Amino acid sequence: MNPNEVIKLKTSPRRMRGALAFCLIVLSIFGLRLFQLQALDAPRLAAAAAENRTRTLILPAQRGEITDRNGAPLAITVDARDITVDQTMVTDPVATANAISQVTGADVATLIPELTGERRFNYVLKKITPEQWNKLKQLKLPGIFSEKTTKRIYPSNTLAASTIGFVGGEGKGLAGLEYGFESELAGSQGEVTVEISAGGRPLPSGIASEKKSVPGMGIRLTIDRDLQFVAEQSLAARVQFAQADSGTLVAISPKTGKILALATYPTFDANYPSEAQPGVTVNHALVDAYEPGSTAKVMTMAGLLNEGVANPATPFTIPPVLKRNGKTFHDSEPHPTLKLTMTGVLAKSSNIGTIQAAELMGAEKFNNYLTKFGVGQETGMQFPGESKGRLPKLEKWSGTSFPTFAFGQGYMVSAVQIASMYATIANDGVRMNPSLIEGYVMPNGEYQTSAPTTRTEVISAAAAKTLREMMEIVVSDEGTAPLAEIPGYRVAGKTGTAEVVDPICKCYSNEVIASFIGMAPAENPEIVVAVAIHKPQNGRWGGSLAGPVFKEVAQYSLKQLNIPPSNGKPTGYPVEW
First-to-last alpha carbon distance for the chain, in angstroms, is: 150
Given a contact cutoff of 8 angstroms between Cβ atoms, the answer to whether 301 and 467 are in contact is yes
- Long-range Cβ pairs for the range 119-122 (8 Å, 24+): 119/85, 119/86, 119/87, 119/88, 120/86, 120/87, 120/88, 120/200, 121/55, 121/84, 121/85, 121/86, 121/200, 122/84, 122/85, 122/87
Q: DSSP per residue over 254-266, as a string? A: TTT-BEEEEEEES
DSSP annotation of 486 reads: B
Rounded CA-CA distance 26/35 in Å is 14
Q: Give the chain's radius of gyration (CA, Å).
A: 36
Among candidate residues 264, 344, 288, the one with its CA nearest the CA of residue 312: 344
Given a contact cutoff of 8 angstroms between Cβ atoms, the answer to whether 516 and 496 are in contact is yes
Q: Peptide bond before 536: cis, by omega within 30 degrees of 0?
A: no
Distances, alpha carbon 251 to alpha carbons 384, 418, 434, in Å: 20, 11, 11
What's at 65, amino acid-wise?
E
Given a contact cutoff of 8 angstroms between Cβ atoms, the answer to whether 450 and 478 are in contact is no
Rounded CA-CA distance 469/112 in Å is 71
For this structure, is 28 an active site residue? no
Given a contact cutoff of 8 angstroms between Cβ atoms, the answer to whether 511 and 501 are in contact is no
Among candidate residues 470, 575, 460, the one with its CA nearest the CA of residue 522: 470
Task: Name the E strands within 54-201.
Answer: 54-59, 66-67, 73-85, 122-128, 144-153, 166-167, 173-175, 190-196
Active-site position among 294, 401, 420, 435: 294
| Residues in a beta bridge with 315 | 341
Among candidate residues 492, 499, 458, 456, the one with its CA nearest the CA of residue 566: 492
The residues near 377 (Cβ < 8 Å, ≥ 6 apart) are 371, 388, 389
Given a contact cutoff of 8 angstroms between Cβ atoms, the answer to whether 335 and 357 are in contact is no
Rounded CA-CA distance 267/270 in Å is 9
Task: Name the E strands within 395-466.
Answer: 430-432, 437-441, 447-449, 455-457
Q: Is 147 exposed, middle or buried (0-12, 13-18, 19+ CB in 10 A)?
A: middle
Given a contact cutoff of 8 angstroms between Cβ atoms, the answer to whether 257 and 435 are in contact is yes
Among candidate residues 262, 261, 266, the one with its CA nearest the CA of residue 236: 266
Active site residues: 294
